[in-house]
Amino acid sequence: MFDNKNLFKTPISEYGEFGLIEHLTKNLSLFNSSTLKSIGDDACVLDSKNKEVLVSSDTLVENIHFNLTYTPLKHLGYKAVVVGISDIIAMNAIPEQILISIAISNRFPVEALDEIYAGISTACNFYKIDLVGGDTTSSNLGLVINITAIGYAKKEDIVYRNGAKPNDLLVVTGDLGGAYFGLQVLERENVAFKANPNLQPDLNDYTYLLERQLKPEARVEIKNLLEEMQVHPTSMIDISDGLASEILHLSQKSNVGFSIYEDKIPMDNQVISTASEFGINPVTGVLNGGEDYEILFTIPVSEHDKIKHNPNFSIIGHATQNNKNFLVTKGQNEIIPLRAQGWEAYLKN
Amino acid sequence: MFDNKNLFKTPISEYGEFGLIEHLTKNLSLFNSSTLKSIGDDACVLDSKNKEVLVSSDTLVENIHFNLTYTPLKHLGYKAVVVGISDIIAMNAIPEQILISIAISNRFPVEALDEIYAGISTACNFYKIDLVGGDTTSSNLGLVINITAIGYAKKEDIVYRNGAKPNDLLVVTGDLGGAYFGLQVLERENVAFKANPNLQPDLNDYTYLLERQLKPEARVEIKNLLEEMQVHPTSMIDISDGLASEILHLSQKSNVGFSIYEDKIPMDNQVISTASEFGINPVTGVLNGGEDYEILFTIPVSEHDKIKHNPNFSIIGHATQNNKNFLVTKGQNEIIPLRAQGWEAYLKN
């Protein structure tokens, strides 16, 4: 391996159109019988098998959604798949295909694209997703990745944002805030490294947070888990922006309000200790941070007993008659209106 | 209208996430009963009605695919739809939905997004396409538009790139080279304008070329036209890159060669006169230029009589046993191997 000095220097222009796409996708497998025709024509061809078809589109932009200083390209490719399929999972559907379009500067060698595709391929293998199309184009503007995700569900299984009813319980999977505080750690170390490149950061205390930020997972198992438990969600969304923003989405679409309880929000110990280190209230990070890709949903209060002791789920609040949204602080000393700060920060760049 | 001095200066950040998407999409209509759920959830929901589903993804990058100096934003929005649905048409399918994701710098005001969406909306109305999703995100890298196009066809109607047989006739819709020479004119006037901003260019001699470049149309009617004529294409592709590149795609996928005849290539008079003015062989422009969004397809030689006098179609050559591809020049004095120069130019940016 080390005898090839040009290993990381193959210019993209050395491949023709045919060659580059074939090279990048040669190790990909197909998993789903819904894929009739994959890469290699003007469009892919899919068989929905009498189910409804769900499609979403997301864009990841360099220096807005990721910083290549500390984001390995392989992780970026993996995360692109997760971001895409999480939207399908959030409709209570099963993701089966993605199309990925990449605009990349010629300052990147082919080996950079190889890394991105290695990450895409790893995620596709893990989640049994078929990469069925896309586009690779030049960019003199940096790296932009667009992900189209496609999934399927029976009509009666699809869960929208607009079905929450007053008194429904608000439930979240996993724990929250990890990705946000992982980003804070990476940003801090990046600044420290720029000031003194000889510094070797000790990141042992943040391993969980860094994994949540750099290699998030999509909750692809939730649909089956809820089915087994005979739990019937009434509304559903994924947590890509902050928890506050997602709650406001459910609130607006369902025309209900939500009250959530600070002490019910699931957080890992690393979130709490790192928040303290940064002098940030951990709940503020959870409400405004985002990128956890957990699933937020409502269930009828009658299904409380089915879910209450399941370690995969936390009941964090409930829906109310009016469309006002509040955080109730610990000890119920204070009631704070929820605002969608995630989105505003997003647009500040 | 003119009493509002801030008309073109609304910062994107003035809209929240809900407000911006609602504002941009409020005038859009839905045309297709395959659209069960449009914008406003994590994914759109579509009913394929027992047909196969076709999906494509394209990216348009500022300064690579368009130059905002001479591309009106409304035209850019229109063209984005055309670029997207052309891929579906090229499978002999009917496009019905698009998702459009835009990464845009905050240096653009909301009114710039309004213009892009006005073009998207005009195209969607004209082609009866439903805009069912997408993403609007910040970019500090310029403007990037991704288009996911979705269409439907019966399995037996879909035409792939790989079905051409030796002796099949190679047919193209419309005429070629207009978009390429329109771009040459725009680039020349742009340079002249930079040198002397008081120059008022007279573009009357180039109206057709400019329209082909700035407001191309997708050949959405071809499927019905071929059905009415009882013509059965064996392979099909759209001309988004140069004619040479598209022929090489059909050749490679079908494992045949093609011979095309210079004097059979349909070109508008403005293409020929403008090529002469620029000192470029018009056929070179056609072979390497691209962006005409005409449809290139093969038919069995037995269907020659059905198509030969139809003004919508030109028979420009035929498929051969080996997989070599040639241009036969006028008077058959020379036989020139075809090369895919479009792609190489593409990557040079």
| Cβ–Cβ contact B113 with A under 8 A | no
The type of residue at A302 is: S
What are the per-10-residue average pLDDT scores of chain A (349 residues)?
50 75 88 96 96 97 93 96 98 98 89 95 97 88 94 98 98 97 95 87 92 96 97 97 94 97 96 96 93 97 96 97 92 84 41
Of B53, B59, B132, the CB nearest to A135: B59
Ramachandran category for residue A332: left, alpha or beta (phi over 0 → left; psi -120 to 50 → alpha) = left
The type of residue at A165 is: K
The token duo for B216 is: 């191309």
Q: Which regions in chain B score pLDDT beneath 70?
A: 1-8, 16-18, 341-349
Residue A95's nearest CA partner among A146, A46, A161 is A46
- The one-character DSSP state at A168 is P
Over its C-alpha atoms, chain B yields an Rg (Å, rounded) of 21
For an interface test with B, the pick among A85, A248, A347 (most B C-beta atoms closer than 10 Å) comes out as A347
The token duo for A75 is: 């992780």
| Cβ–Cβ contact B291 with A under 8 A | no
B3 is in an annotated binding site: no
Answer whether B57 sits within 8 Å of A150, measured CB to CB: no
Q: How far is A201 from chain B (nearest CA, A)?
A: 29
* CA–CA separation, B248 and B257 (whole Å): 8
- Residues of B within 8 A of A141 (CB-CB) are 61-63, 139, 141-142, 144
For an interface test with A, the pick among B42, B159, B323, B344 (most A C-beta atoms closer than 10 Å) comes out as B42
Of A16, A46, A93, the CB nearest to B55: A46
Residue B85's nearest CA partner among B137, B126, B24, B26 is B126
Expressed in angstroms, the distance from the first to the final Cα of chain B is: 41
Pairing of strands B144-153, B52-61: antiparallel
B57 is in an annotated binding site: yes
Q: Which domains does chain B have, with CATH numbers?
A: 12-157 (3.30.1330.10), 169-347 (3.90.650.10)
Pairing of strands B325-328, B257-261: parallel
Over its C-alpha atoms, chain A yields an Rg (Å, rounded) of 21
The answer to whether B279 and B217 are in contact (CB under 8 A) is no
- Helix ranges restricted to H, B33-172: 73-89, 110-127
Q: How far is A315 from chain B (nearest CA, A)?
A: 22
Pairing of strands B257-261, B144-153: unpaired
What percent of chain B stands above pLDDT 90? 77
Reported ipTM: the value is 0.92
Of B52, B97, B103, the CB nearest to A59: B103
Which 3 state secondary structure label does DSSP give B304?
Answer: helix
For an interface test with B, the pick among A57, A68, A87 (most B C-beta atoms closer than 10 Å) comes out as A57
| Cβ–Cβ contact B242 with A under 8 A | no
Residue A42's nearest CA partner among B164, B167, B56 is B56
The nearest alpha carbon in chain B to A108 belongs to B347
| Cβ–Cβ contact A37 with B under 8 A | yes
- Residues of A within 8 A of B132 (CB-CB) are 55
| Cβ–Cβ contact B85 with A under 8 A | no
Answer whether B132 sits within 8 Å of A55, measured CB to CB: yes
> What's the pLDDT score for residue A13?
75
**What is the side-by-side strand order in the sheet with B169-173?**
B235-238, B295-299, B169-173, B313-320, B257-261, B325-328, B335-337
Instruction: Write the DSSP string, B319-330.
Output: EESSS-EEEEPG
> What's the pLDDT score for residue B8?
57
Instruction: Cite the beta strand spans of chain B per DSSP E.
Output: 35-37, 44-46, 52-61, 94-104, 130-138, 144-153, 169-173, 235-238, 257-261, 295-299, 313-320, 325-328, 335-337
